[in-house]
Amino acid sequence: MAKKTYFITGTNTGVGKTIATAALLEAAKEQGLTTLAMKPIASGCHQTPDGLRNEDALLLQNAMTEKLPYESINPITLEPAIAPHVAAQQAGKQVSAQRIVGFCRGNQIRPADLMLVEGAGGWRVPLNDRETYAAVPREMGMAVILVVPLQLGCINHALLSVEAIRADGLNVAGWIGNHPEAEPMECEQETLSYLSLHLKAPCLGVLPWIEGKPDKDLPKVLRKYLNVAPLIEN
């Protein structure tokens, strides 16, 4: 059974959750740890001879140490690149927290030192008309890692996200700062200092913007900026 399991969320969509997750996997691999990863539901999938595939899920598959079939990593594939609950409605698929929990537990029983489950969008992204994705880590009691994009407004978004996570009874195991754009934000160091003081969770690292590298190569480059020790020692 996976010794440690964490849920990766972001303050919003497009903040770098997948790159951060894959970089954590690579950092753990460098420490000699065995890893598993999932992106249970993914929209924006493309047709291939093997069926629908998602680039983010493929990135995680490439970064983790243990072998899983694609369908175990990304069991719910949705073609339109829109909000998952809308994409599921358009595809005529039923998505529920309990179904996703079942997929996660199916992988969690496999032996590994670390398992990472990447969510979709932010903490309250809908799964259907009744549930948000937050119901999944809440049901499983997973500690959460928050990815924060270093851009204007990130302090407010990060504080609100952490407040919601803790209100749901879950621990924030750490946070990762990410540069989603080449241009650095103004007063970045002041922002990082404020987040470090007020999020009351360890900063696992700050990922720089790297120009010209294909996504598939980024996790290995970025792993040196992350510290996985707090995730293993907790």
Q: In terms of residue numbers, what domain contains 215?
A: 2-233
> Six-digit token pair at 24?
């954590």
The pLDDT score that the predictor gives to residue 84 is 85
Catalytic residue among 39, 67, 93, 216: 39
How far CA 148 is from CA of 27, 96, 181, in Å, comes to 19, 26, 13
Measured CA to CA, the distance from residue 234 to residue 218 in angstroms comes to 27
93 is catalytic: no
The three-state DSSP-derived secondary structure of 24-67 is HHHHHHHCCCCEEEECCEECCCEEECCEEECHHHHHHHHHCCCC
Task: Give the tens place of pLDDT for each residue, 148-207.
Answer: 999 999 999 999 999 999 999 999 999 999 998 888 899 999 999 999 999 999 999 999
Check residue 72 and give its pLDDT.
97
Answer whether residue 234 shows pLDDT above 80.
Answer: no
Q: Which two tokens stand for residue 9?
A: 């969320």
> Residue 162: what pLDDT?
98
Backbone angles phi, psi at 162, to 5 degrees: -65, -40
CATH number of the domain bearing residue 49: 3.40.50.300
Q: What does the pLDDT average to over 134-145?
A: 98
Q: What is the pLDDT of residue 91?
A: 83
Q: List residues bridging with 7 in a β-sheet.
A: 117, 144
Cα separation, 52 vs 88, in Å, equals 14
φ and ψ at residue 130, rounded to 5 degrees: -115, -25
Q: What is the pLDDT of residues 23-80, one digit of tens each?
A: 999 999 999 999 999 999 998 999 999 999 999 999 999 999 999 999 999 999 998 8
Q: Can you say whether residue 87 is alpha, beta or left, with left for phi > 0 and alpha for psi between -120 and 50 degrees?
A: alpha
Q: What total of structural domains would you count in the chain?
A: 1
Whether 132 shows a pLDDT value over 90: the answer reads yes
